[in-house]
Structure 1
Amino acid sequence: MTYRTYEPPRGSVDPLAVALGNATLLGTGYLLLRRKRLAATAVLGAAVLLHLTARTAEARYEVLLLAWWAAGIAHGWFMARRRPEHAVRPGQRAGTLALALAVVLTATLLRIDAYGIEERVTEAREDGDCRAAVAAQGGVWWGHRLAGAPVVEPGDAVVAACHRLDGAASVLARAARTGSTEDLGRGFGTLTGVLNDGPGNEQTVSTTLDTFLDALPTDDACGTAALTAWLRGRGPSHDVLDRSAGTAARTEPAALVGCGDHLMTEDAWPRARDHYQQLLDTYPDDSRTDEARGGVRKATLAIELNRVRGLVDDTYDASSGYCAKPAKYSGAPAYRKGSGRALFLGDSEYTGQLPGSWRTGDPAKAALVVCADEAENGAAVQTCRYENKKSKYLPHQVTFHKVKIPLKVYALRTGKRLDPRSVQIGGGSCPSVLRYEYYMYDLGPGDQFVSTSKSGVRDAFRPVLGR
């Protein structure tokens, strides 16, 4: 028996080989049919759809790509079947099958790997671990995007959110260092924006928030007080950010007292008092309320004393400075008869003769503030006749008066005015010789003060000071 080897007719094609060739999306089936234009069209169409899928990650382009793939297979099969010279060509089938399997298997493996990557990204995000999520998404390359763009696209959003959270973390860290509420507001704005981008970001936002909250309180009490006041005042947002209110309530009381103490050392008494008072108003049951009340009193006394000192420094006569606008200093010694010293302002011609134990130049040690005006004639004591040595025919009648000192007396502790409104100093009158300055038209010496002594001045002022 003689065996012959079968050889297909030259130029014949295998429909199955053509279909498998088009399954590669490379137009191989059309090349077997020697239809180069169709092959180029097939490749171009597949390239466009792959590009759109990778760029937009929209499922509709994947559906279109699948339809294009199926249409190419069917079209190649029917074109090959319609040709009269078709036959089974095992070599073509094996080659195109291997190529088609390689393409499909590669796409399948890439798709499976994409699902694995996105699963790791999702797990990391649910654990609040942005670093792990970004690292997992970093394994995505263009092959994954061609084979499964809709699968890996959510991971891009996670990475973008994590980058935003990294920025927020940096801003919040700067806020913790500097006490800047502007940075704090900017950081919380970013956290809110990431939460509003969609569900799933709660844990990563919570991790970023926890890092900031764990830094409170900081070493700067005033910075901490500013930050916690902002957190307390932001109001509820009904999300994970509301946990910041608990941290504020836990750390703010100590920060308010600490900041108040620091401001006291810098003579910023009004701000210090505001911080102490804030604790009393906001946390009336806190264990530091007694300390805060003491701080309020200290700051108030410092403010009052500072105002008094300023008014005293501005006093140049009995109608200016403190004498015009008296103020209280609650820490001043109480005015009691027989004790206490006075701060004398205004004209000092006579008050300067008082004993040192009666006077003080320090407002913090004074019980009274005595404003003395210029001396004026008081009660008439005696009238005497004097003759001019140069003209015995021009005698003068001279009346001697007590020295009257108009006064404004204030109790420094209350700032209220007390009596008396004036004192009169007695002394000697009608000396045997009266000397005075005269001019061309001499009208005489006029009324004169009595001659005073320190004891007379002291006796006059004794009732004023209760001595």
Structure 2
Amino acid sequence: MDSPTYEPGPYQPPAEPPRPPAPSDPPAAALGNASLLGIGYLLLGHRRLAAIAVLGTGVLLKLTASTAETWCEILLLLWWAAGIAHGWFLARRRTEHVVRRGQRAGTLAVTVAVLLTAVLLRVDAYGIEDRVNEARESGDCETAVAAQDEVWSGHRLAGAPVVEPGDAVVEACHRLERAAATLAAGRSGSIEDLERGFGILAGVLREPGNEKTVETVLDTFLDGLPTEDSCDTADITDWLRDREPTHDVLDRSADTATRTEPAALVGCGDELMDEEAWQQARTRYQHLLDEHPDDTLTDEARSGVEKATLAIELDNVRGLVEDTTSASTGYCDAPAKYSGAPRYRKGVNRALFLGDSEYTDRLPGGWRTGDPAKAALVVCADTAENGAAVESCYYENDKSRYLPHSVTFYKVKIPLKVYELRTGKRVDPRQVQISGGSCPSVLHYEYYGTYDYGPGDEFVSTAKSDVRAAFRPVVER
């Protein structure tokens, strides 16, 4: 039997035995991971775990800074404790342990630096927030905002829940700044701006801790009352007084309104009187009497009401007089009183003569006036008509086949409407009849067309003395 043969192959060196893991120092690994930078893993040669540690720390820090929730900080603390424990565990699994004083010192220095920085930032964050809260409690928004502006990203990484309330204070202060600007615009009497400004204040006030800052803005607005324009002030105080109570600091505005409104109403009424806006002026004066009957300015307001009422009455009379074109239009159709007119007294009373002026224009100037404010009477004269017959005479004219002709002469009767201007009531007489001459030796008349029917009935010829005698009972009492 043949024995097997073997051909020699290539040379294979013997495999090296696996290198045992390097000796580890568990305290150094734990201290390295306590830095939250994965240094402990690097010391153990676990670079992937180190990267994961750094990434996890970054994610948790970003989450904490963005949400400012306490549970995120707790989760970060657990992550820190887990990293320390895991580093210690991995190092303890090594078969050999050595004391590496250099690693311990280095990792301790890094960890202390990281933790000390975090502690210092957090302590500083508490200090900042204390200043923010103190400023808010004293009503000083400007100082509160300035303090919160010291917060930077480091504070948010080390203590986001600490500094986050300050952000709410700043946001509230910005809203109060808008409210202050809106209320400042409302000082011009804009009710819309007042409503908007107080709405912002009420919204901020609903958030706890903002009472003093709201009070500061409100006081600044109220201290600006009264404004330079009395009517604007009156509009503002009227709105403040009628504002629905909210049982908070905003209700203080009603006290300011009560204190400021009377003077504003009187001042506004006086301004409107100067502008001849009498109806509005009387409304302002009357508003004071209605809402503040015990105020020291009621006498002035009462006097203002009287003056405004007289001005309104006189303005109404003037308008009616201007619209009068006959004895049946304007004032003669709708008489009105002017309480400031001279009294209808004994003696001669000056009168405002309206309507047909053919005869009234011949009255003495001392009996007549064109100013309603100076008249005691208003006399509306209608068109003259035949009064009592005085005499009939025959007239001849060779050129007219209708003559001789009898012509009757009549007194001039003028229907009247006489009103006492002070009361607007009608008084007597209802008419006057003017006497005069009759039956002149020559009678002139006009005729039109082809036919001459001769003269008709005639008025007596009147002189100024006749007109004066007829109208004397009208103006003289």
The answer on whether the counterparts of 1:370 and 1:408 sit within 8 Å (CA) in structure 2 is yes
TM-score scaled by structure 2?
A: 0.92
Partner of 1:372: 381
Partner of 2:88: 77
Partner of 1:87: 98
Partner of 1:4: none
Instruction: Give the residue type in structure 1 aligned to 2:161.
Output: P
* Deviations, residues 235-285 of structure 1 (Å, cap 9, x unaligned): 321111111111111111111111111111111111111111111111111
Instruction: Give the residue type in structure 2 aligned to 1:450.
Output: V
Deviation of 1:337 after TM superposition, in Å, equals: 3.0
* Deviations, residues 121-175 of structure 1 (Å, cap 9, x unaligned): 1111111111211121121111110010100111111111112212222222333
Q: In 2, distance between residues paired with 1:295 and 1:36? A: 94
Instruction: Give the residue type in structure 2 aligned to 1:160.
Output: E
Instruction: Give the residue type in structure 2 aligned to 1:180.
Output: S
Indicate whether 1:44 and 2:48 are aligned.
no
Identify the match of residue 241 of structure 2 among 224, 232, 237.
232
CA RMSD of aligned residues (A): 1.6
* Aligned residue pairs, count: 457
* Aligned counterparts, 1:181-196, within 5 A: 181-196=191-206
* Aligned counterparts, 1:280-291, within 5 A: 280-291=289-300
Partner SS for 2:406: strand
Long gaps (5+) in structure 1: 1-8
Q: In 1, distance between residues paired with 2:121 and 2:290? A: 63
Instruction: Give the residue type in structure 2 aligned to 1:455.
Output: S
Partner of 1:447: 457
Q: Relative to structure 1, is the Cα distance of residues 183 and 255 closer, same or farther in structure 2, using a 3 angstrom cutoff? A: same
Indicate whether 1:411 and 2:415 are aligned.
no
Q: In 2, distance between residues paired with 1:46 and 1:344? A: 104
User: More displaced, 363-372 or 236-245?
Assistant: 236-245
Partner of 1:320: 329
Partner of 2:13: none
Q: In 2, distance between residues paired with 1:38 and 1:377? A: 131
Identify the match of residue 206 of structure 1 among 211, 215, 222.
215
The answer on whether the counterparts of 1:424 and 1:460 sit within 8 Å (CA) in structure 2 is yes
Partner of 2:15: none
* Deviations, residues 172-207 of structure 1 (Å, cap 9, x unaligned): 23333x2333322222121111101x1111011111
The answer on whether the counterparts of 1:28 and 1:39 sit within 8 Å (CA) in structure 2 is yes
Identify the match of residue 180 of structure 2 among 169, 188, 198.
169
Instruction: Give the residue type in structure 1 aligned to 2:212.
Output: Q
Instruction: Give the residue type in structure 1 aligned to 2:110.
Output: L
Partner SS for 1:406: strand
Deviation of 1:107 after TM superposition, in Å, equals: 0.7
Partner of 1:119: 130
Q: Relative to structure 1, is the Cα distance of residues 11 and 393 closer, same or farther in structure 2, using a 3 angstrom cutoff? A: closer
Partner of 1:430: 439
Deviation of 1:352 after TM superposition, in Å, equals: 0.3
Q: In 1, distance between residues paired with 2:452 and 2:170? A: 105
Q: In 1, distance between residues paired with 2:400 and 2:60? A: 134
Q: In 2, distance between residues paired with 1:389 and 1:288? A: 86
Identify the match of residue 151 of structure 1 among 139, 157, 162.
162
Identify the match of residue 106 of structure 1 among 106, 109, 117.
117
Indicate whether 1:216 and 2:186 are aligned.
no
User: More displaced, 397-406 or 298-307?
Assistant: 397-406
Identify the match of residue 27 of structure 2 among 9, 12, 16.
16
The answer on whether the counterparts of 1:337 and 1:465 sit within 8 Å (CA) in structure 2 is no
Indicate whether 1:358 and 2:367 are aligned.
yes
Indicate whether 1:329 and 2:338 are aligned.
yes
Partner of 1:136: 147
Q: Relative to structure 1, is the Cα distance of residues 391 and 253 closer, same or farther in structure 2, using a 3 angstrom cutoff? A: closer
Query: Percent identity among equivalent residues?
Result: 74
Q: In 2, distance between residues paired with 1:75 and 1:305? A: 101
Q: In 2, distance between residues paired with 1:156 and 1:465? A: 85
The answer on whether the counterparts of 2:336 and 2:424 sit within 8 Å (CA) in structure 1 is yes
Partner SS for 1:391: coil
Deviation of 1:11 after TM superposition, in Å, equals: 2.7
Q: In 2, distance between residues paired with 1:79 and 1:346? A: 122
The answer on whether the counterparts of 1:328 and 1:415 sit within 8 Å (CA) in structure 2 is yes
Q: In 2, distance between residues paired with 1:391 and 1:150? A: 125
Q: In 2, distance between residues paired with 1:433 and 1:59? A: 126
Deviation of 1:56 after TM superposition, in Å, equals: 1.5
Partner of 1:3: none
Deviation of 1:295 after TM superposition, in Å, equals: 0.7
Deviation of 1:358 after TM superposition, in Å, equals: 0.5
Indicate whether 1:420 and 2:447 are aligned.
no
Instruction: Give the residue type in structure 2 aligned to 1:338.
Output: G
Partner SS for 1:403: strand
* Deviations, residues 395-417 of structure 1 (Å, cap 9, x unaligned): 32222211111111111111112
The answer on whether the counterparts of 2:33 and 2:39 sit within 8 Å (CA) in structure 1 is yes
TM-score scaled by structure 1?
A: 0.94
The answer on whether the counterparts of 1:29 and 1:76 sit within 8 Å (CA) in structure 2 is yes
Deviation of 1:392 after TM superposition, in Å, equals: 5.1
Deviation of 1:346 after TM superposition, in Å, equals: 1.0
